[in-house]
Chains A and B, each alone.
Chain A
Amino acid sequence: KAGVTQTPRYLIKTRGQQVTLSCSPISGHRSVSWYQQTPGQGLQFLFEYFSETQRNKGNFPGRFSGRQFSNSRSEMNVSTLELGDSALYLCASATAGGVDTQYFGPGTRLTVL
């Protein structure tokens, strides 16, 4: 079974731009969660989607948004990029979320200049 895939793997943007990241979960998984990982803050929860609906949301500004498609693939969008948005963005899929084990993708390394 193929693992979680994320595209692109690396991205360089400038302040004020917007970016869209993509995540394809493991086949059969309906829950997709997004995390931001930085050296100073560790792994922080952004949001979780299940069956095309945002089920949970972390404490991030509205510039961070996401969506999930009927095939469970998910996208995350960050608008008006700031230098502090530079991070590794990880997506994790699970069968149904909740206490199900999450399986992480390789991440997208975003650098904002």
Chain B
Amino acid sequence: QVQLQESGPGLVKPSGTLSLTCAVSGGSISSSNWWSWIRQPPGKGLEWIGEIYHSGSTNYNPSLKSRVTISVDKSKNQFSLKLSSVTAADTAVYYCARNSDYDAFDIWGQGTMVTVSS
């Protein structure tokens, strides 16, 4: 049973860089799946941030593309998110998720709350 677990600082200063990691357990990140980051501001809906394949290929949401970097570390079976120049608008619960063979997100991490504040 594949499980995902997000980790990283819960508080980031404005203009700083948000950095999160998603550890994959119970399966290999090198499987034939893409791996995504999705966020949810408090009390609001879901926004897809971007995805990565184990080869390192990425796709990003154009609305965030200039600030986002998603990378993969196959040796650690994990993938990571970096979001630069953050503002209060980036305060959200950040989820990592697996893109299933059905082109949907079938496995999600529990999510980690990141607050942007000085």
The answer to whether A binds B is no
